[in-house]
Amino acid sequence: MAEPAMLLNDAPPATDTTGRLDTSESFAKSLFTGEILFGNAFPYPRMSERDRELLAMMVDSIDHFMDGKDAALRDMDRDGAQPAEYVQELRELGLFGLVIPEAYDGIGLSNAGYARVLSQTSRYDSSTSLTIGAHSSIGMKGLLLFGTPEQKSRYLPRLASGEMIAAFCLTESGAGSDAASIRTSARKQPDGSWILNGEKIWITNGGIADLYTVFARTEGPGGKISAFIVEAAWPGVSRGHHEDKMGIRGSSTTTVTFADVRVPAENLLGEEGKGFKAAMAILNSGRTGLGGGAVGGMKTLIALATKQATERKQFGRPIAEFGLVREKIAQMTVDCFAAESTVWMIAHYIDSECDDYSVEAAIGKVFAGEAVNRAAWEALQIAGGNGYMREYPYEQAARDARILPIFEGANEVMRLFIGLSGLKHAGSQLSEVKSAVDDIFSNPIKGFGVLGSYAQRRIARATGLRGDKAPFNCPAELKESLAIYQKYASALATASEQLLRQHRKAVIERQADLKRVADVAIDLFVGLCTLSRAISLGADTKGDAAQGREIARVFAQQAKRRMASNLRRLAGNEDQSLDRLAGNILADGQYRWDVL
Ligand SMILES: Cc1cc2nc3c(=O)[nH]c(=O)nc-3n(C[C@H](O)[C@H](O)[C@H](O)COP(=O)(O)OP(=O)(O)OC[C@H]3O[C@@H](n4cnc5c(N)ncnc54)[C@H](O)[C@@H]3O)c2cc1C
């Protein structure tokens, strides 16, 4: 493992909240109108001094605690549980109080600092990160975001010390991706208390939590969803056995059942009937934890792959000399830098109290989760047969990473969310253009006044005269990369407009097209974060800064090819054939052919 001092040097910069963010507008959504809100991503945010100081100590103590625990962590993976003494050690390290304000006895890290801690624990063990993350990112996040002062002072100090561990209870057997269809019920009693009935499944920390954030319907079937804080010790609360999982096996996953549980009126969390919105806000705000974890995992995989490639000799040479091995190591590095640049940009948005970062958070979740999966399989491949053996860490890394595209919003659903949110934003701007143009004809002077920046850019697009200029000095080496993002932001706007005009509301059913525009937006947002980060490393012609610029250039070229392909395939694709084929196979329930 790397020395603590080195780890601090590679700490991603984040969050000097004095930037000139336009907190009311979403950077990612604006890409669908062709607009790059440069001020919201350039210059790349820097870590606050307070976070830096705190992280120096925390990273050091995490390394000290986890270094040399390989065998114990492997036992936890094999046994499928973290021993109680291990969880106690996590408590003593202060890892349950990371995001809780100092006023409630927590450490009070920013989101950027928190994600950095999870990236450090993930260098050693994903399950450890999940135990901490399910507590901080989602389990008790609702209390931080929506709790009353009384609820906060009652629970947060105990949550900060780890005396209480928290879990987030949304999923049910009939309600996974469609979380709004939950059936757990909360019946209001004459004294204002509630009676809770239902069963939640696959709850991380389910078996060790003392406090659950539970989502239930408060007005019977079809009624609204509300959130409640429920103590595990209350009569009627029970949990099932530890699930026997593919990966992240050390973390606790169980069902949690509520049978006539009486919840006092004061444990309603947030407003009655606003629970679904609260659940989405909690998940959004918690996504940097997952992203930070993915980045930490990738850093370990890169270190493992590098060591293996250098030490393993075949055909009389270290395999590190072979082009196809080098390509994998380089690609893992590009992906890791891009994911890191994106995750800490999003943390900066959350810490700057941006109004809307939901699309950015979804992009970070999708990109970082898929990047660590690619890295895990590539590192395993570099290790060859050893990679397949349980004695080595690769197969566990691949199993552990596999959960990321599934939970906290399946990546398919995240892509639909990114695509639809972007199109909705573009659609609202289009109607503004329409009314502006109407006004131009009915009242030219007033009309020109309301011709906003979107309309101006749209006209510029139509006439080929681009208006956007980056308000910073782009290094010569990165000018082409910047031009790629400007060109494709414009192309995304044109494509979005065409999709909206052609399909109107029915665009919601065109999942393949939504995925294509979402993937273009992912490449644009991740690419621009990467570019900004590379510029922030300075102008040195050698070393980290020069390599950072090279990474940004590689990402931009790769993104260009993907974006061009996605946009081209909006017009020419095999969607109808594939849909027909799927229909036939689904009707048969099997593959039809055989060579017999
Ligand atoms: C290890 C683990 C830990 C978890 N921890 C928690 C927790 O702490 N708290 C909690 O509340 N939940 C938790 N979950 C639940 C998790 O969030 C859900 O598994 C996830 O939301 C997906 O729901 P599902 O598994 O029911 O899949 P489904 O909703 O059945 O979806 C299956 C697949 O169908 C596709 N799909 C679904 N809907 C669409 C659509 N509209 N369009 C296109 N494709 C679609 C996707 O490919 C998806 O992967 C956990 C799950 C696991 C496995």
| Of 229, 256, 276, the domain-final residue | 276
- Closest CA relative to residue 237, chosen from 256, 221, 215: 256
The residue to mutate among 407, 418, 420, having the most atoms of ligand 1 within 8 angstroms of its beta carbon, is 407
Q: What is the CATH number of the domain that holds 221?
A: 2.40.110.10
Separation of CA 197 and ligand 1 centre (Å): 22
The residue to mutate among 171, 246, 402, having the most atoms of ligand 1 within 8 angstroms of its beta carbon, is 171
Residues noted as catalytic: 408
Q: CB of 206 within 8 A of CB of 252? A: yes
Q: What is the CATH number of the domain that holds 547?
A: 1.20.140.10
**3-state DSSP assignment of residue 2:** coil
> Within a domain: residue 215?
yes
> Within a domain: residue 346?
no
Separation of CA 289 and ligand 1 centre (Å): 18
> Within a domain: residue 521?
yes
> Within a domain: residue 563?
yes
pLDDT tens across 390-438, in order?
Answer: 999 999 999 999 999 999 999 999 999 999 999 999 998 877 666 655 5
> Within a domain: residue 427?
yes
**Residue 187 burial (C-beta neighbours within 10 Å; 0-12, 13-18, 19+):** middle
Domain with 472 in it = 412-582
pLDDT tens across 138-175, in order?
Answer: 999 999 999 999 999 999 999 999 999 999 999 999 99
**Residues whose beta carbon lies within 6 Å of some atom of ligand 1:** 134, 167-171, 176-177, 202-204, 245, 253, 403, 406-408, 410, 412-413, 416, 511
pLDDT tens across 565-580, in order?
Answer: 999 999 999 999 999 9
Say which residue, 531 or 24, is predicted with more confidence.
531
Q: Are strands 194-204 and 211-217 parallel, antiparallel or unpaired?
A: unpaired
Distance CA 164, CA 253 (A): 17
Pair of tokens at residue 417: 């969310």
The single residue listed with the structure tokens 């208006």 is: 467
| Of 276, 299, 317, the domain-final residue | 276
- Counting Cα atoms < 13 Å in the Cβ hemisphere of 44 gives 26
The pLDDT-based confidence of 286 (bands split at 50, 70, 90) is confident
| Of 276, 301, 318, the domain-final residue | 276
pLDDT at 223: 85
Write the DSSP string, 554-571: HHHHHHHHHHHHHHHHHH
**3-state DSSP assignment of residue 462:** helix
The total number of structural domains in the chain stands at 2
> Within a domain: residue 252?
yes
pLDDT at 442 over 60: yes
| Ligand 1 atom nearest residue 200's Cα | 11
> Within a domain: residue 515?
yes
Separation of CA 461 and ligand 1 centre (Å): 40
pLDDT at 67: 94
Between 131-135, 230-234, 457-461, the lowest mean confidence (pLDDT) is in 457-461
The residue nearest atom 40 of ligand 1, judged by CA position, is: 413
The residue nearest atom 12 of ligand 1, judged by CA position, is: 171
| Ligand 1 atom nearest residue 167's Cα | 8
> Within a domain: residue 464?
yes
